[in-house]
Amino acid sequence: MNPAPLIPLKYAYLTGSLYFLAIWFLLFQKWPNRRKHMLVVGVVFLWIGIFAEYFWWTRDWWRPMTITGTRIGIEDFIMSFTHSAIAILVYKYFFNK
């Protein structure tokens, strides 16, 4: 008999995206001089990420369960926004740009 998972599958994608949102908030608080860059890059890549998710990823191999039960969920918005903003901060930090 298999034990019940710690996080139901319906909430697994949301939980993963909230981890990245927490990291984003920590970085946002740590570097106030980078906040504008994080927000601008996050908003720009939010729409690029949603477009790619809808027309490319969910049609091919990636079909995560969302809490809304739709093809594109709230989780996709969180992931598109946070991944790009975290990436720009990591780039600026490691390469001193």
86 neighbors 24 (Cβ within 8 angstroms): yes
Interval 48-90: pLDDT, tens: 888 887 777 655 556 777 888 777 888 888 988 998 888 888 8
Answer whether 45's CB lies under 8 Å from 84's CB: yes
Whether 36 shows a pLDDT value over 60: the answer reads yes
CB-based contact 63:69 (threshold 8 Å): no
Q: What angle do CA 76, 48, 32 make, to 5 degrees?
A: 80
- SS3 state at 61: coil
Closest CA relative to residue 27, chosen from 96, 77, 95, 93: 93
